[in-house]
Chain A
């Protein structure tokens, strides 16, 4: 059902999620739009656009193109561009009009691949859905199409960090921190989304010791790699020393044992029903997987601090305007349809401290709830591009301690 937003802006669209994943992949991206969808993506959802020129183009379709279903012009343009730019692969990305007129995006991609000889992915994104579904589609497509089975897995432990894009992590500060910390623990990164990737690099996804889905958008690809190649996966951005140690141990264990029998989920604490018997005192609003990691962090810090009795409880719920995975949901977690849902929750639960994008803080400004900001670019674009976001274990712990201290007041 359609969603009404009185205050919040529309969120980053699914095609932005696809394009964001493909930004640093050697891929010619063609957005099947009239021009505005490309503008939405480039100007509002892609902070890298200002710094680097990327082969992402608008097809500039017009009414007659759409009505007549004449795709020959688009194909000819793509072939000409592919001939000039020689990309490793091509992606055709759908938007609302192709979705409405029923454009066969996969068929169009197949036709381009047939005629160009270049691997071409078709994404039937529609602009009705939000970014995380596009991230998921793009990562899954890359994993399914290009990740290659190898005889033996990596000798050196390495991980895939799946689902990191500037729509969740504006400057890749989080993923850079995780990469750095894992490297210090002797674990390399096979794929993270932050950096330049050719198809050979993407093939290496299948050889990783483990996958970490750092956002909801990384779950499907991580699960595919687990099913297809036996790469164990966990969900959650490791934020604390304990979580980082657990991911490193998993990767090393999998690497040493050839993956067989490895099963671990170091961030599962965030999904547990710890504190479920008491009303939540904190509501985390954002990407489900990311917020589960924050919940685990809060639990960990509450436990550490509670030994001296300085906190009153650890009831933390997660809510999201975006997709949620039932397996990763605790009993008090819930989905938000529109901004009115959050307002209603806040008014009914004025004692709950709410964590989320700063725009949510503005939405809730007339409510009594305490609010702690955590920038989510898929909501607020670049409005808080300069805001400080915790980007190492010490900063996250300090942030969590600050939130917990506010609960005690």
Chain B
């Protein structure tokens, strides 16, 4: 039996306790002026239906709730065409595009999505269609082109080849826009890159199409990496993979690479100086208090743990329960360089029994991320989810501010 390990495929079922992120408003990344149609059993899309109301997207999301009889008889594909006909009849203004989402069961039904999309294009020629798979069940066989990458990449499938390119920069792989946050936008503007574009900022289908007009693209997380490759191939953009990191040297190196990409020299020394000062303040404030990093806080929790340990924080543990990004190398580095840091990879019945055996007394620890905060009942915590809103030196400063506040007992 092989247990879950960071960056490796899990081979057997493993019980998992669910830590609720219900209080967090989750962004629903979507194509503007489009309609989403979920094609699945009743229960599978419940969270999307409720989230649509929470996100002000009611009326832009519909559902074809399959019956078992239709699935067994194979007639569900006919129902899909009927449902799309009803969406196009009833939704006003008529959507420019329809995004179809299928779920885990489709992996076993074997819907021919190419044939389906061809058929829909013939029947509804003025509407664009794209099909995405929300299938966590396939996490064992699609690690290198994971479901999240697939969903994210397909959101850009409807972009047309632009007539011309401008000096813009398109950011990929984020659910929350970082445009206007911190130094990155200023540095990009000073380097002559304008406008900055990303999907969360698109208000119209035209804005969306403009994502393809940029000359440059940056992927901010592993979610955007596959899309970046497609942008390079389809639109000839020059791209850079730049996942969130909290290592000041690495951030400086990334700015150097960014400068090389756009052909400009970039001076980020003032920003680095501010970030260094914020690190000094946070290390002083936190002192020897244990810090516990979880995999909900960062796409690369081992990298984050290594960065924090190198800054001088007393990193006690990494709760690597759901590692999303590629972080195997940092996991190896962590175990080699910081063997004192405990790595927790399970959230089964331990979630009810507590983690005292593995982690000892955590009552004074600062938990970074909702998993660690919840499972350890931490009194001091840092609210951070998949690095969203944290990028470059600004990301370091923001995290340090949160750690400083958590050290004095504020929920940060």
Contact = CB atoms under 8 A, between A and B. Distances in A.
Interface stretch (A51-59, A183-191, A250-258): A51-59
A96 B15 contact: no
Nearest to B351: A53
A6 B22 contact: no
B204 interface: no
Nearest to A359: B53
B336 interface: no
Given A11-B42, A66-B137, A76-B1, A2 B349 contact: no
Contact of B43 (A3, A15, A60): A15
A45 to B, nearest CB: 8
A237 B47 CA distance: 29
Nearest to B43: A13
Nearest to A9: B49
A10 B348 contact: no
A49 B67 contact: no
Interface string A212-242: 0000000000000000000000000000000
A17 to B, nearest CB: 10
Interface in B23-67: 23, 38, 40-50, 52-54, 58-59, 62-67
A313 to B, nearest CB: 34
B138 interface: yes
B91 A6 contact: yes
A37 B141 CA distance: 20
- The 6 tightest CB contacts between A and B, nearest first, are A9-B49, A13-B43, A73-B12, A34-B137, A127-B43, A62-B140
B23 to A, nearest CB: 8
A284 B389 CA distance: 46
B71 A100 contact: yes
Interface residues of B, number: 68
Contacts of B141: 62-64
B108 A97 contact: yes
Interface string B359-385: 000000000000000000000000000
Contact of A9 (B52, B67, B71): B52
Given A1-B67, A64-B141, A96 B18 contact: no
Given A35-B136, A81-B349, 17 more contacts: A2-B66, A3-B65, A5-B62, A9-B46, A34-B104, A34-B135, A34-B137, A36-B134, A40-B44, A49-B18, A62-B138, A62-B139, A64-B141, A66-B137, A84-B353, A128-B43, A128-B68
B13 A62 contact: yes
**Highest count of chain A CB atoms <10 Å: which of B18, B105, B349, B351:** B18
Contact of A100 (B12, B45, B105): B105
A55 B352 contact: yes
Contacts of A362: 58
Contact of A66 (B82, B87, B108, B352): B108
B50 A383 contact: yes
A10 B22 contact: no
A78 interface: yes
